[in-house]
A and B are shown apart, each in its own frame.
Chain A
């Protein structure tokens, strides 16, 4: 698995979260371990998260917050 700098940063962020980290997308509930596992193994999932992170960064820069 060859990760880009952004992907590495996201993975590091996820690993730093406490064990109670949980989020929901549609019908699916993701725990910390599940998120990290999918981020490492599932390319589609990883791309989706990276896309969301990039869109957030663009949004924050546009708003200048």
Chain B
């Protein structure tokens, strides 16, 4: 197993996450799992991340730093190491992260569209500095360590981590730590085959899932729009042809014939479907 470990360090919060990452790295090494490629501090950039994802057969990405709904933030916070624009590079891989908010949208899309296993947090991760900090670190690192140590499913690792959080809430010395441990526990998400994200709110997407099962999560809006435009175009062309055949239309009328709109829709739909197909080919390759 090849693990890409990414840990930027550029503000006070990342000083802590960096040290937690290092402990996780040492624990996993101790278990004798995997070969690591490390992108630490200044090396934790989008360019390097994409380079290694293209050149190496990475199985697991461990990312410890800030995150947003859009993705996982790179060194210095000016760009993302991973976001929706380079999701195709992580297709089929596992992402294990501490990054805040990344489970809200980015993680859902990584699972739905690119078959990733995603472990992260759908809210901001909170922790206290001082005597209870080790409890937060242990909970944050527990999922991956448990999964590798016991060769468990992700669902089991998630359940054990929730138990770990509950134990930490009991052990924490300060109320403030208990408060944020509870918050983090409820913000933790894991998306995998045995625990998919909740069904989306969009009624069309829900219909697609009902009709096609899990594949319904992957169907892209541009594909549906492309197909709809093509059928609309065909409808307009046929309608116009029938009017012409009946000689009840004026060939010089303005605005122009529906036929030309129909042709336009068919061409636009064709380009949308082709674009979708090319993206799918890129992902497959």
- Which A residues form the contact surface with B (CB < 8 A)? 13, 17, 20-29, 52-53, 55-56, 59-60, 63, 65
List 3 A-B pairs, minimum CB-CB distance, nearest first: A26-B124, A22-B129, A25-B126
Q: Which residue on B lies nearest to A55, using beta carbons?
A: B182
CB contact between B166 and one of A22, A25, A27, A63 (< 8 Å): that residue: A63
Tell me, rounded to whole Å, the shortest Cβ–Cβ distance linking B228 to chain A.
Answer: 40
Bound together, the chains give a CA A56 to CA B181 distance in angstroms of 9
CB contact between A23 and one of B169, B170, B176 (< 8 Å): that residue: B176
How many B residues are at the interface, by size bracket? 20 to 34
B180 lies within 8 A of A23 (CB): yes
Given A26-B100, A27-B13: A59 in contact with B182 (beta carbons within 8 A): yes
Assess whether B256 is interfacial by the CB under 8 Å rule: no
Tell me, rounded to whole Å, the shortest Cβ–Cβ distance linking A32 to chain B.
Answer: 10
B178 lies within 8 A of A56 (CB): yes
Bound together, the chains give a CA A25 to CA B12 distance in angstroms of 11
Given A52-B180, A59-B169: A29 in contact with B124 (beta carbons within 8 A): no
- Which B residues form the contact surface with A (CB < 8 A)? 11-13, 16, 66, 77, 100-101, 124-130, 166, 169-170, 175-176, 178-180, 182-183, 186
A23 lies within 8 A of B129 (CB): yes
A20 lies within 8 A of B130 (CB): yes
Q: Which residue on A lies nearest to B175, using beta carbons?
A: A13
B124 lies within 8 A of A56 (CB): no
| CB<8 Å pairs between A and B, sample of 10 | A13-B175, A23-B126, A23-B127, A26-B101, A26-B125, A29-B13, A52-B182, A52-B183, A55-B183, A59-B182
Q: Which residue on A lies nearest to B127, using beta carbons?
A: A24
| Most chain B Cβ neighbours within 10 Å, of A13, A25, A26 | A26
Interface of chain A, helix or strand or loop or mixed? mixed
B178 lies within 8 A of A24 (CB): no
| Most chain B Cβ neighbours within 10 Å, of A23, A24, A56, A63 | A24
B179 lies within 8 A of A56 (CB): yes
What residues of A have a CB within 8 angstroms of the CB of B178 in the complex?
56, 60
Tell me, rounded to whole Å, the shortest Cβ–Cβ distance linking B81 to chain A.
Answer: 16
What residues of B have a CB within 8 angstroms of the CB of A26 in the complex?
13, 66, 100-101, 124-126
What residues of A have a CB within 8 angstroms of the CB of B186 in the complex?
55
CB contact between B129 and one of A24, A60, A63 (< 8 Å): that residue: A24
B11 lies within 8 A of A27 (CB): yes
What residues of B have a CB within 8 angstroms of the CB of A60 in the complex?
169, 178
What residues of A have a CB within 8 angstroms of the CB of B130 in the complex?
20-22
Bound together, the chains give a CA A25 to CA B101 distance in angstroms of 11
Given A23-B126, A25-B124, A29-B12: A52 in contact with B179 (beta carbons within 8 A): yes
Bound together, the chains give a CA A26 to CA B180 distance in angstroms of 12
